Amino acid sequence: MSVLSRNFLLLVLCLVFCNTYAQESKLWTSVNLEYRPNTKWHFSLEEQLRLKKNSSVTDQYFTALDLSYSVLKNIELAMGYRYITKKDNTGNIQGSENYSRVHFDLSYKYKSNNFSFKHRFRFQNKKLLSIDGLYHLNDKVILVPDYKNKNIRFKTSIAYNIKNWPLDPKLSAEIFYHLEEGDTEALDLEEKTIGFNKYRITLATDYKMNGYGKIGGYYRLENEFNVNAPSYSKIIGVKYSYVFKNKKNSQKSY
């Protein structure tokens, strides 16, 4: 077994071991439609539903639009937009919170033997649009502020191609750096300090169904730190995706 293979298996074992510290179970499901007119451009539309409290309560759902462009063989630029509805059922103020989020990505990917590597740098800006209704807290009417939540994220992933096996594993790690403090106490929003505050470790795979798209699954640990009330979650994800390709510029489609 090569050094890279041993290191990959070690990371998988670390992921399983870290499950001991995860407290809340969540379920994330999504449907993704993609269009690739050529080898340079890539468009996608995604609908996602996230459940919390052991997958029994709706956490949030959103619609996402993404556009990416391959600048060079190994370098890709991307941008995306999400409209998010988040269900807040804890604290003094409860209801639906609506957000818009934009992000910009720079990715670098390459291959080495049976391994594929990808590193992604992301800047995102999430803005609170509204909270359904007006709320009273300490005999005062609370109005919605123009609050923005900015983060820098770095993600690195490694995939291993197993010969004659359709479920190739992929392991990724991501860290979040919060850029801006916000006055969120009155609204019961998540208070965050400037600096690193969250990381994710994910083990994933997918299966291509000839002519019917692709279905994928993943197991993720998401841990917060340097925040007032950190959460420790284990997440099960299920994703279906279908790719439309321009037949003149592509090989065999799904």
Average pLDDT of the residues in 44-53: 95
- Pairwise CA distance, residues 231 & 223, whole Å: 6
| Band of residue 130 on the pLDDT scale cut at 50, 70, 90 | confident
Please report the pLDDT score of residue 251 as a whole number.
46
The class (CATH top level) of 3-23+88-245 is mainly beta
The helix (H) or strand (E) run that includes residue 232 is strand 232-245
Average pLDDT of the residues in 228-235: 88
Please report the pLDDT score of residue 194 as a whole number.
82
Least confident piece of the model among 11-20, 63-72, 97-106, 191-200: 11-20
Residues 6+ apart with CB under 8 A from 162: 114, 168, 169
Average pLDDT of the residues in 171-193: 70
Average pLDDT of the residues in 105-123: 96
The domain spans of the chain are 3-23+88-245
Average pLDDT of the residues in 11-28: 65
Please report the pLDDT score of residue 136 as a whole number.
46
- The fraction of the chain above a pLDDT of 70, given in percent, is 74
Average pLDDT of the residues in 189-205: 83
Least confident piece of the model among 19-23, 112-116, 148-152, 160-164: 19-23
Query: Which tops the pLDDT comparison, 230 or 59?
Result: 59
Mind spelling out the 3-state secondary structure of 123-165? EEEEEEEEECCCEEECCEEECCCCCEEEEEEEEEEEEECCCCC
Confidence check: pLDDT of 34 > 50? yes
pLDDT tens, residue by residue, 82-111: 999 998 776 656 678 889 999 999 999 999
| Band of residue 45 on the pLDDT scale cut at 50, 70, 90 | very high
* 110, two tokens: 């390459």
Confidence check: pLDDT of 113 > 70? yes
Mean pLDDT for all residues in the chain? 83
Q: What is the pTM of this model?
A: 0.82
